[in-house]
Structure 1
């Protein structure tokens, strides 16, 4: 791909990313309005739609506390991974 083609693709990518950000922000605003309408209710029905907003419990290991309390155990179960980060500046 030539430099001009790359520049065009990058410009197109940035424009699409901006559209995605705008759409995501708009979707979050709509979600917040629906949640406000629901109040403390966990379920809402509107015509053909059923909306649920329920509390979900999750358990996670506090790795910071584990490293402080049992550093050898934390080290034994620590796994290093490598990924590639794509960024356009």
Structure 2
């Protein structure tokens, strides 16, 4: 399945819905079909979006800073996510 290749901190682009075309980080993998995504702007960490994996275009970019902070349950802020996505948006 596709979710076997997904990781927390991975950059994805929404391909459908209101968020279409926007970049997000995967915050949590629910199961093989769903993940939680957030970008720190419209979709904040306090209320991440539950999204089907098939509605996401995934990139082979995993931000280690975001991944490590989320997995170690450190204080991750929306501003931190925005800064990291802005850096990556120019590269993708």
* TM-score bracket relative to the smaller structure: under 0.3
More helix by share: 1
Higher relative contact order (CA 8 A, sep 6+): 2
TM-score by length of 2: 0.18
Q: Which has the larger radius of gyration?
A: 1
Q: TM-score, normalised by structure 1?
A: 0.18
